[in-house]
Structure 1
């Protein structure tokens, strides 16, 4: 799942910040953060989609029943959607974190870093979901109605033409925010604090760690972050799955439906299926942070401000 250092260097040829070449700053730096985030999210979500095909019925059964093209149904929107989302999520997180540091100053930001991690990730996820929602709506339509269109562009164009931007692409924006924002907040804050704790126990700084050691740290912190994020977002994930499968009563608001369903399910019902989801999300998150860190290093995008004590 994880690209090797040699592969990254061959595919992303950029100047090294070492020596006489200045490290990237400003827009150039954040563009690299965004690219690293885009790649890590597209790769991991694409891998999870392929894994689901293998686990649910298997590749051979899907091909026999629906043809080889069925394996790619929804893959285009998934890859494109999470490529965009990853760019806004990771690049945006770095941007808003730096903005907060500039406003409050490094010392005060360090003292309140948990709040900054939470706020930066929440804002970044909001804009990431704005980018993701149209492609996610297209993916859902292609999967639920195989004859709707032949691919991403066709499905996107038809929804835009027949339903418009708001109804066609953003009718599910609220539910996506309800699920994704708490998930992303937990994901980033736990990753940051876990990484800080691990490196502190090593008695070194990030700059002193070898690339392979830093990748291992990112994997370990990602597993912890993914586990916590899965637990935090599980109730919302369960409720949204139920909403997508059941039609609401005419005139009933989304909030009323959510409250009613939560009451019917209870605590036990809201956390049903948590075990498998923890495994999936922890794996996904660990992969994202490991790939993100490696690509940032290869791109020379190491100029972000650290506020960990």
Structure 2
């Protein structure tokens, strides 16, 4: 029985990830690659035959796309991306906008009150918690993006790509926050209650004695409320911004750009996406901090004490600076790791050509 060429076709649209592809575009319509470039009788999946008229060369990456090794690499990239960046901005977490008039004055007071060591109070739970979150966030995002694209099929995946970005990132963050929540609870308590504990080693036992194991997940629902919209905006806006940068700003096709330029685009796209993330997630961030800092407090208590306007605006300028820089750095580090292991950077590819129906 003749082998069906369509069984060789990957359902992931090429706009999600782009390798060097030998097709060029004229007015948005791909020029046909000549079938004569391959043996006329060749039906091998190794040649990436999509139809009689479209041929995509086999990828040259060191790691096979969407293989277990690929998802493992994305998971490892997420660890470095989120763990290191969140640990680095720990000092910004310690600036209470209700206590300090500006970042500069906040740093000055913090240095005077607690010394240089005070700038990184709570760095261990931050590093561990956000490393676990990053592993799940990026690893499962890649998995769910491929999974939902396969479910939709090539044409619908290309047509509704933004919905796939949103669904994939929301699904990933749902899992990632379960990994983050215990460390986030201890981190917030250590950072917002001076004298509670020096760090994770003494903070975790003390927290468990006062709140119990269930207390570690007291803030999970508010955390979902903060992180899921944040991550949906983070991934969907990043993918869209990067695509538009390559389409309208960079005069050279992505596969012809240097790796340094591609990583610069990843940082720029991440920074702009981070500004949007900060605005979307800020009310829930204030709510999570309030609940973890006040024993037995409820969401209603937070609204009554902070007010609706305060819930949306308290500390927002600082958060925009922090999240913009943080998100830009995260995408830069994540894509740098992908380049290091031989994978293409995220986003910016051209839409997949239409597949002729048999």
- TM-score category of the 2 structures, normalised to the smaller one: 0.7 to 0.9
Aligned counterpart for 2:172 among listed residues 124, 137, 140: 124
User: Which has the larger helix fraction?
Assistant: 1
Describe the SS at the equivalent of 1:296.
helix
* 1:291 match: 333
Aligned counterpart for 1:58 among listed residues 83, 107, 112: 107
Larger Rg: 1 or 2? 2
* 1:110 match: 158
Mind listing any 5+ residue stretches in structure 1 that lack a counterpart? Answer: 1-16
**Is the aligned partner of 1:49 residue 2:90?**
yes
Query: Which fold has the larger relative contact order, with Cα–Cα distance below 8 Å and residues 6 or more apart in sequence?
Result: 1
Describe the SS at the equivalent of 2:189.
helix
1:135–1:278 Cα change, 3 Å: same
* 1:86 match: 134
* 1:274 match: 316
Please say which of residues 88-97 and 204-213 is displaced more in the overlay.
Answer: 204-213
Matches within 5 A, 1:125-274: 125-145=173-193, 148-149=196-197, 151-160=199-208, 163-167=211-215, 169-201=216-248, 202=250, 204-241=252-289, 254=299, 256=300, 264-266=307-309, 270-274=312-316
What is the count of residue pairs matched by the alignment?
Answer: 284
Distance across 2 between alignment mates of 1:130 and 1:197: 33
1:139 Cα offset (Å) = 1.4
1:122–1:24 Cα change, 3 Å: closer
CA contact (8 A) 1:24 1:300 kept: no
Distance across 1 between alignment mates of 2:347 and 2:276: 25
Mind listing any 5+ residue stretches in structure 2 that lack a counterpart? Answer: 1-58, 95-102, 352-358
* CA offset digits 1:73-95 (Å, max 9, x no partner): 20100111111111111111111
1:298–1:140 Cα change, 3 Å: same
Matches within 5 A, 1:7-86: 23=64, 25-50=66-91, 55=104, 57-58=106-107, 62=110, 65-66=113-114, 69-86=117-134
* CA offset digits 1:49-99 (Å, max 9, x no partner): 14566846437x656644554344201001111111111111111111011
CA RMSD in angstroms, aligned pairs only: 3.3
Distance across 2 between alignment mates of 1:127 and 1:288: 19
- TM-score (normalised: structure 2): 0.68
Describe the SS at the equivalent of 2:129.
helix
Distance across 2 between alignment mates of 1:117 and 1:139: 30
Distance across 2 between alignment mates of 1:110 and 1:132: 32
